[in-house]
Amino acid sequence: MRRTTITLLAALTVATALSAVPAQAHGRGTGMGMGMENCIATACHFDVAPGTYDVRVRLGGDTAASTGITGETRRTLLAETPTAAGEPVTRTFTVNVRTPEGEPTGAEGTPGLDLVVGGSAPALADIRVTPAAARHTRQIFLVGDSTVCDQPGDPYSGWGQQLPQYLRKGVSVANYGDSGESTVTYLGDPRLFATVQPLIRKGDLVLIQLAHNDKQTDEATYRANLETLVAGVRDKGGRPVLVTPIVRRWFNSDGTLNNGTALLVNGLGVDHPAVTRSVAAAHDVPLIDLTARTKALVESLGVEGSKALYLYNEKRDNTHTSAYGATAYAQLVRDELLAQHLVPERLLR
């Protein structure tokens, strides 16, 4: 049979003579690799069942290129990667496929795995998708709100949507962040924690960042809800990690962030980051103090420079992040995963 591949460079599609898997490898549950025959122009679709899949891509071609890969609901799976002319490179990553593919309370999305080839000068020479071996694959579940979730539309982006680009093959991100959720609603909606908990396997990380929508949650309830989430993860053998919320971009006249709106103190006087730190300490739970890390970054950039992290210019929005901001905040999370030895260095980019 004739073997072909699709090379994607700029907006052009060019056929070249590279190997592809046989047509009979198509379909659900085959356990066989699938390749370039599933790609048209700058999009690839793989008819696979929900699960976790390893992806190997070969990037580059005869001319200089710069290629990135996104997938499912706008997740950045591979950051833009430059390649010199005639010097292709191979990269791998692991991706979570499910329905709904984005926010748990959102649209179902397209069945199977969808990947988009982008970048300033994209060139995809080859691709292989295979089921990930469960015993060799780690999972990072994300429990969060709109600042974490896989946002369905541009220009919005949650930091969890950008986290996969910092991970190598062998660890996947299952982002169950959902817009508008508080600790109360995340525990109360059967599509949220009640869905996540049965999926947790021994050793899986579960990062929990909920606070932005707990505006009317009193301190005792907020604390109890965090403790319930921690216990629920541990009941399944998972490893909970509490994450303090990203700051809102609200400045004092002296260039510091204010102690109320910006630092997530609600109308009842509940200091969400402080309570989260307290619960982490009391229950020996790893803590990623994203409030402190994002505060330092926003204040270092100043009133004007920090606008690009959020959607201030587009929406006058000082809470939700741009893709640029979400990527910067995802890198802060990545750095903490490394520093606290929560994910082995060999699995991080």
Tell me what the mean pLDDT of segment 39-55 comes to: 96
H or E segment to which residue 6 belongs: strand 5-9
For 41, 131, 180, the CA distances from 96, given in Å and listed in that order, are: 23, 10, 23
Using CA atoms, how far residue 246 sits from 139, 219, 233, in Å, is: 23, 19, 22
Q: Note the pLDDT of residue 16.
A: 27
- Please list the residue range(s) of the chain that carry CATH number 2.60.120.260: 20-131
pLDDT over 90 (residue 159) = yes
3-state secondary structure of 15: strand
Between strands 89-97 and 51-59, the pairing is: antiparallel
Question: What pLDDT score was predicted for residue 33?
Answer: 63
> How does pLDDT run across 299-332, given as a tens digit for each residue?
999 999 999 999 999 999 999 999 999 999 999 9
| Residue range 137-343 in CATH 3.40.50.620 | no
Question: What DSSP character marks residue 43?
Answer: E
Indicate the CATH number for domain 20-131. Answer: 2.60.120.260
pLDDT average, residue stretch 13-23: 26
How confident is residue 135, by pLDDT bands cut at 50, 70 and 90?
confident
Note the pLDDT of residue 32: 52
Helix 290-305, helix 323-339: angle, nearest 10: 150
Round to whole Å and give the CA distance between 149 and 330: 12
CB–CB of 197/204 below 8 Å? no
CA distance 336 to 333: 5
Tokens 């606290």 belong to 340
DSSP characters for 264-303?
Answer: TB-TT--BHHHHHHHHHHHTT--EE-HHHHHHHHHHHHHH
For the chain, residues classed under CATH 3.40.50.1110 are 137-343
Confidence of residue 134 (pLDDT cuts 50, 70, 90): confident
Is residue 341 predicted with pLDDT exceeding 50? yes
